[in-house]
Amino acid sequence: MSIERPRVLDPIHRESEIVFGLLMALTFTGSVSVATAGHQDARTMMAAALGCNLAWGLVDAVMYLVGIVTERLRAMKLLARLHATTDAAKAQALIADALPPRLGAVADPHALEALRQRLLATADTPLPRLLERDDFLGALGVFLLVVLVTFPVVIPFAVFDTTMFALRVSNTIALFMLFASGYSLGRHAGAKAWLGGIAMAALGTVLVGVIVALGG
């Protein structure tokens, strides 16, 4: 029987990176002047959008790895403190603080003690490396998501001669991709997926307008 490997990127992280890449690309297409833009302006915009998303994809990938290292160092520090203290109540408080707020607030002493005992039982287990193979795959996934979503948004400017028509096609594609990301997030949250899609498309449109207005 085969064992299914966990996803390198969870749905929230994956869709968030797609939306981020889309918004970055849309800040460039949203600044195109329909009245005056020509093929040269379209090529410049395409190159700028791709270059921007390449840079931010790299930044996002590096920060993804930084976040993983930070969380693992916190976990190692917690484990070391649990092994160093013989006060069960103090150890339970440490565990409660490390849990998400709602879980920590409702976890009773028996549950916290069970967690403490299980954590202490891992004393002989080798500590994980700060970065594993899947972490680098996740960082690569982050980079590719941010970069690749640029192309569907900017390619219409290279395909169509009329800037107005290219802009409409580009915006339609972007809205569909935003809707798809919101739909996926809504389904993951257990809510009405189509409402999530509409909300994300609307939110993305507003954010792009604000970013362009602020000179982004």
Mapping DSSP onto H, E and C, the string for the chain reads CCCCCCCCCCHHHHHHHHHHHHHHHHHHHCCCCCCCCCHHHHHHHHHHHHHHHHHHHHHHHHHHHHHHHHHHHHHHHHHHHHHHCCCHHHHHHHHHHHCCHHHHHHCCHHHHHHHHHHHHCCCCCCCCCCCCHHHHHHHHHHHHHHHHCHHHHHHHHHHCCCHHHHHHHHHHHHHHHHHHHHHHHHHHHCCCHHHHHHHHHHHHHHHHHHHHHCCC
Q: Kindly give the confidence (pLDDT) of every residue in the chain, 216 residues in length, as a single tens digit, with 9 standing for 90 and above.
A: 333 445 667 888 888 889 988 988 888 877 665 445 555 567 777 888 888 899 999 999 999 999 999 988 988 888 888 888 888 888 888 888 888 888 777 788 888 888 888 888 876 667 678 898 889 999 999 999 999 999 999 888 888 877 778 888 888 898 999 999 999 999 988 888 999 999 999 988 888 777 767 655
Give pLDDT, residue 171.
85
Give pLDDT, residue 44.
77
Give pLDDT, residue 35.
44
